[in-house]
A and B are shown apart, each in its own frame.
Chain A
Amino acid sequence: MRLWQQQKLKTMKQDWPLWEIFIRSKQGLDHKHVGSLHAADAQMAIENARDVYTRRQEGVSIWVVESNHVHASNPDEAPSFYDPMNDKVYRHPTFYDLPDELKHM
């Protein structure tokens, strides 16, 4: 067994956690998910995220969240999950038929 194979076995259980990276591209805008990376801890995740995701000034602020802390809705349940919203067109302004003479509304 070669050296790196031994090391691989040794470090497998200590594989660095995965982090989800969110970047604010400029002041006033939301942080947006851009991808993920591995890092030993949050500080390292932020520094790596700077090198991986902001090489061209794409960001002014970085959030990192350990991936196993993200909980997601189930895509298989999407039809029933979002169903209650499907028949409420009256929530949109275009639902209301108003005369053209009506201004500033």
Chain B
Amino acid sequence: MEIQNSEKIFQDKVDEEIRIEPKDWMPEKYRQTLIRQISQHAHSEIVGMLPEGNWITRAPSLKRKAILLAKVQDEAGHGLYLYSSAETLGIGRNEMLNQLHTGKAKYSSIFNYPTITWADIGAIGWLVDGAAIMNQVPLCRASYGPYARAMVRICKEESFHQRQGFEILLVLSKGTEAQRRMCQDAINRWWWPSVMMFGPNDEASPHTAQSMKWKIKRFSNDELRQKFIDVCAEQVKILGMHLPDKDLKWNEERGHYDFGAIDWGEFWNVVNGNGPCNKERLEARVKAHEEGAWVREAATAHAEKRKAKANQAA
């Protein structure tokens, strides 16, 4: 009776677009869904630094190095905003890191693909960050306050990520024959994984209805995917390149682009740990955590020493 009443008050608030804050009553499943979604999102930001970090030292100019460094630093910041927002739901930072390192928690599968050429950095900015923005803008209105606020900050910063990526491809598209080939090749490899970033089709996404009722999600996977494809199909023309989908065609009646079948076999294969870089990415994270242990210990020891000194002086 008591819980039923609380559930009703909670849902009424959500329906009236009143944000839920950490100390408000919330259904346990709402809390768990958010912890899963936000921590998964945080892990994606952190793991997402790896494919790009790979190119910081090899970026073609000092300007590109500085830009890429700033972008990767932003991803670290985004991970931190999200981790602390998940922590307001009662999960500890260590626990989340532990879930990532043991493979219990997932991160976006897109980061399990390799960055083979410089053009990949452009394609990631344009397509991967473009898809992420498409997903994230509606999350700025998510019903959970701390998550929505983190997303506002993230979205403001993501815009530069996408633009710098498109600019990299634009420069390549006006370059030599070899550079144009490199540009098209990167688009070919990143297109379908980016389209898959929106997750399974609506009929195969059982939690969507509940997440939409709770206003964590505002649009379904397929709605956002369609929007993304419509936008990219136009943008690619400016590059003088094409998207690797022979079925991509404007549908006057629908007012949208039709597109080819998605290889969900590949999607689930990568989600389940068999993508080209799953093992490498996780190992890199674990190694960084292990090798950073002494820094964390030293900082703790230093803080304790300073505290002791201050106490002595007082």
CB within 8 Å of B: which residues of A? 2-4, 7-8, 11-12, 14-16, 18, 35-38, 40-41, 44, 51-53, 55-56, 72, 74-76
Contact = CB atoms under 8 A, between A and B. Distances in A.
Contact of A16 (B21, B149, B300): B300
B92 A76 contact: no
B160 to A, nearest CB: 9
A41 B306 contact: yes
Contacts of B222: none
Q: Residue among A8, A11, A74 with the most chain B CB within 10 A? A: A8
A15 B93 contact: yes
A52 B101 contact: no
Contacts, number: 66
Contacts of B182: none
A18 B87 CA distance: 10
A11 to B, nearest CB: 6
Interface of B: 21, 23-25, 70, 73-74, 77, 80-81, 84-85, 87, 92-94, 98, 101, 149-150, 153, 157, 286, 289-290, 293, 296-297, 299-300, 302-303, 306-307
Contact of B98 (A8, A18, A41): A8
A11 B293 contact: yes
Given A3-B290, A12-B94, A55-B74, A36 B23 contact: no
Given A4-B286, A11-B293, A35-B84, 20 more contacts: A2-B286, A3-B290, A4-B290, A7-B293, A11-B94, A11-B296, A11-B297, A11-B300, A12-B94, A15-B93, A16-B300, A18-B87, A36-B84, A40-B302, A52-B80, A52-B81, A55-B70, A55-B77, A56-B157, A74-B23
A3 B291 CA distance: 10
B154 to A, nearest CB: 11
A76 B25 contact: yes
A100 B74 CA distance: 55
Contacts of A51: 73, 77
